[in-house]
Amino acid sequence: MDRSFDGMETVTTVTESIEAFFARYTGYLTAGDIEGLVAVYNYPSLAVTAQGCLAITEPQQSRDFFTQGQHFYRSRGIQGVRARDIVTDVVVPGIWVGRLVLENLDGDGVSAGLERNAYQVITAVDGTHRIAVSTPLDAYSPAGPATRHNAERID
């Protein structure tokens, strides 16, 4: 398969740091801002777990997922999220690859659990970041073989 390009495309200049991006992302999670969350994903994007991959092709998929997630987390007393331990593994023009910990917070701002995630983030035409690949590193079932049709998007 030929993967060469006839010409190199210009990559948009980044207008926000990756730390600012994840602060914005976790701010949307904390506020329950579903449209903000929908806007930080690229379409298509990919959710990858040990159970398989799920293509996220439409913003409505993200709306449904984050609406369900808000109910799930709020019902468990989680009222906020913050990004910590951001690790950059690779940066090339227009792409950031790395991992971080999402720290769930109760109503008093006390840690209520940690979730490790890996991301591939692209630079959109406006210079902001968009999530292209999301991988929850703690979302797997060690009890049996993984199956592709059981993929679930978890952030």
Architecture of domain 18-139: Roll (3.10)
DSSP-derived secondary structure for 78-99:
--EEEEEEEEEEEEETTEEEEE
Selection from 34, 103, 23 nearest residue 66 by Cα: 34
Supply φ then ψ for residue 45, to 5 degrees.
-135, 175
- pLDDT 10s digit of each residue in the chain, 155 long? 544 445 556 778 888 999 999 999 999 999 999 999 999 999 999 999 888 999 999 999 999 999 999 999 999 999 999 999 999 999 999 999 999 999 999 999 999 999 999 999 999 999 999 999 999 998 765 554 333 333 333 34
**Model's pTM, two decimal places?**
0.82
Residue 24 near residue 39 (C-beta atoms within 8 A): no
- Strand blocks (E) in 57-152: 80-92, 95-105, 111-123, 129-136
Q: Token pair 């293509």 is at which residue?
A: 55
- Domains of the chain, residue spans: 18-139
Structure tokens at 47: 């959710």
Question: What is the maximum alpha-carbon separation in the chain?
Answer: 55
